[in-house]
Amino acid sequence: MHVLVLGGTTEARRLAAALAARPGVRVTTSLAGRVARPAALEGDVRIGGFGGVDGLAAWLRDHEVDAVVDATHPFAATISEHAALAAAATGVPSVMLRRPGWRPEPGDPWHEAASLADAAALLPALGRRVFLTTGRLGLATFADAHAVPDLAELHFLVRSVEPPQPPLPRHTEVLIDRGPYTVEGETALLREHRIDVLVTKDSGAAATAAKLTAARALSVPVVIVRRPRPPEGATVLPDEESVLSYLARHLGHVPSAARRPPGRTR
């Protein structure tokens, strides 16, 4: 049986290892290619896009894929939508692996935002020194002083795994680093840079949750960008174990996509 894992997350790496260890199961992990040196993966690896919904559907048929697991980042909305549509078009069972999101504790000064643009609009009223941990993509939103004029007066500490490309906010210091992070380290970072507001996406990742604990201890307000909704009708599971159980229920009796009539769905 052939399982395609749309990867890029810690959960995807663990799932690929679990699948590769099972007799009779072939696993291919697909990466977008945005990270120059991705972590090692068990099984086959492909890098790059598929060419939209039709390209992904063709890949599923050509490579006789029996199941698709979307284990991408919770904010990778485009590939998640494409995966759901391509799986439906080919009749291949699909499931989304999404770690639970973060939840505030009583008294946490959290401010929810529907998008990066909404987060940027909130900042001038919350602080002057911003710790920006939304990744290197989308930073131009915080450099758009035409949309939010007061942004030009804020100071940003941007943390990213790889160097971000311009445009960047007017006053920006870039910190190249990769998690996991500790509460002690994050607390020291907030103090050293005199951070008075934190911006993050609700990734739910344990490796990067320490900043929220540090912000709570220092009473630093947090702007949380909400996740996009999963594709309509998607099966969403919270961990690798539940995905493995799902696959065990489906792989034993599902024929390969390449042997189904084109366009037929289950």
Residue-level pLDDT at 37: 66
- Beta 197-201 vs 94-97: how paired, if at all? unpaired
pLDDT digits (tens, 9 = 90+) for 141-155: 999 878 888 999 999
Fold of 2-100+228-259: Rossmann fold (3.40.50)
Provide CATH 3.40.50.720 ranges for the chain. 2-100+228-259, 110-225
Residue-level pLDDT at 112: 96
Residue-level pLDDT at 144: 87
Rounded CA-CA distance 63/105 in Å is 46
Residue-level pLDDT at 251: 75
Rounded CA-CA distance 251/26 in Å is 12
Residue-level pLDDT at 36: 60
Rounded CA-CA distance 81/229 in Å is 10
Residue-level pLDDT at 35: 65
Rounded CA-CA distance 152/154 in Å is 6
Q: Whole-prediction pTM value?
A: 0.85
Contact present, 44 and 38 (Cβ < 8 Å):
no
Residue-level pLDDT at 265: 35
- The superfamily in CATH containing domain 110-225 is NAD(P)-binding Rossmann-like Domain (3.40.50.720)
Beta bridge partners of 4: 28, 68
Which residues, given as ranges, of the chain have pLDDT below 70? 35-37, 252-266
Amino acid identity, position 223: V
